[in-house]
């Protein structure tokens, strides 16, 4: 997969995109990342990428002609791509969106700044608009890094474990079960005996039930989107959890 990131601060992205799993994915050829400086496509000697908004108002607006020139450049280099504007006005980003994007071959991530971008750039060049949360950042660079990280780990062979990404929190709508490692006893608390039993069926059952309980306690808003198998429903009823799940699911109907 190719990630083209358009930004006026390319250096801001250099270190985070050259560490850990992303670095390894780049070295192994699973992904290619290029940071393109939008200022390189400015039309004046001052490399101006923004201007005052027509009609007045605070702040500056990124220029449509400069942004469009940058998009055309990376498209000429790497193909059409899917142009995403990182913006608080975009659709909310979640695991389902990450999975959707992971099926594409080329993402062009445009990092907005200041008060936003000229609407004509949005209308003429942008295929998608994404927000990583209901808060304001100084620019889209951090959001771009979130997308690169979350999409990369979904690509085949990147994590080196076939089902690792599938077991993550949010992958099926539930929070992940609690995790334990050595030492066996810590601060007066022991690792649950079932995890030491070697009985994989019981371990799977324990992890499923604790996953459901944590979701009920911490993120019940996730439950309306979760589908349970008949065997899982039978187990939830046996544990007295199914009635509460139905109540939470009914709140969204």
- 99, 115, 129, 244: the catalytic one is 115
Look up 115 and say whether it is catalytic. Answer: yes
Q: Residues at the annotated binding site?
A: 112, 132-137
- 16, 53, 88, 224: the catalytic one is 88
Q: For the chain, which domains are there?
A: 2-152 (3.40.1280.10), 185-250 (1.10.1270)
Taking the C-alpha atoms of residue 63 and residue 167, their distance in angstroms, rounded to an integer, is 43
For helices 242-250 and 230-238, angle between their N-to-C axes, nearest 10 degrees: 110
Q: Residues at the annotated binding site for S-adenosyl-L-methionine?
A: 112, 132-137
Look up 224 and say whether it is catalytic. Answer: no
Instruction: Find the mean pLDDT for residues 1-28.
Output: 96
- The DSSP-derived string for 53-87 is PTT--SS-EE-HHHHHHHHHHHHHHH-S-EEEEEE
**Half-sphere exposure at residue 66, Cβ-oriented, CA atoms within 13 angstroms:** 24
Taking the C-alpha atoms of residue 201 and residue 240, their distance in angstroms, rounded to an integer, is 20
pTM for the structure as a whole = 0.89
- pLDDT, tens digit (0-9, with 9 covering 90-100), for 99-115: 999 999 999 999 999 99
Instruction: Find the mean pLDDT for residues 192-202.
Output: 97
Backbone angles phi, psi at 3, to 5 degrees: -115, 115
The more confidently predicted of residues 165 and 129 is 129
Q: What would you measure as the largest C-alpha separation in the chain, in angstroms? A: 72
Cα–Cα distances (Å) from 150 to 89, 97, 155, 189, in that order, read 20, 10, 10, 33
Look up 153 and say whether it is catalytic. Answer: yes
- 153, 172, 207, 219: the catalytic one is 153
Instruction: Find the mean pLDDT for residues 217-229.
Output: 94
Taking the C-alpha atoms of residue 210 and residue 212, their distance in angstroms, rounded to an integer, is 5
- pLDDT, tens digit (0-9, with 9 covering 90-100), for 150-171: 999 999 989 875 455 665 556 6
- 99, 168, 232, 244: the catalytic one is 168
Residue 165's pLDDT is 62
Residue 161's pLDDT is 58
Look up 168 and say whether it is catalytic. Answer: yes
- pLDDT, tens digit (0-9, with 9 covering 90-100), for 172-192: 889 999 999 999 999 999 999
């Amino acid at each position: 997969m190719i990630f083209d990131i358009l930004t006026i601060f390319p250096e801001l992205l250099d270190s985070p995109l050259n560490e850990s799993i992303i670095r390894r994915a780049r070295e192994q050829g699973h992904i290619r990342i290029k940071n393109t400086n939008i200022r390189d496509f400015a039309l004046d000697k001052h490399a101006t990428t923004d201007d005052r908004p027509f009609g007045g108002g605070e702040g500056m607006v990124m220029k449509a002609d400069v942004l469009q020139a940058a998009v055309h450049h990376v498209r000429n280099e790497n193909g059409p791509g899917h142009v995403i504007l990182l913006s608080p006005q975009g659709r909310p980003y979640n695991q389902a969106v990450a999975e959707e994007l992971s099926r594409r071959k080329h993402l062009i991530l445009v990092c907005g700044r200041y008060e936003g971008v000229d609407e004509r750039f949005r209308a003429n060049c942008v295929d998608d608009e994404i927000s990583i949360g209901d808060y304001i950042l100084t620019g889209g660079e951090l959001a771009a890094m979130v997308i690169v990280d979350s999409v990369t780990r979904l690509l085949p062979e990147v994590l080196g474990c076939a089902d690792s990404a599938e077991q993550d929190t949010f992958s099926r709508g539930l929070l992940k079960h609690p995790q334990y490692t050595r030492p066996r006893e810590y601060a007066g608390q022991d690792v649950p005996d079932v995890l030491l039993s070697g009985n994989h069926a019981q371990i799977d059952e324990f992890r499923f039930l604790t996953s459901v309980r944590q979701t009920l306690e911490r993120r019940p808003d996730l439950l309306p989107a979760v589908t349970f198998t008949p065997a899982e429903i039978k187990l939830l009823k046996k544990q007295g959890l199914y009635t509460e799940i139905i109540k939470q699911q009914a709140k969204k109907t």
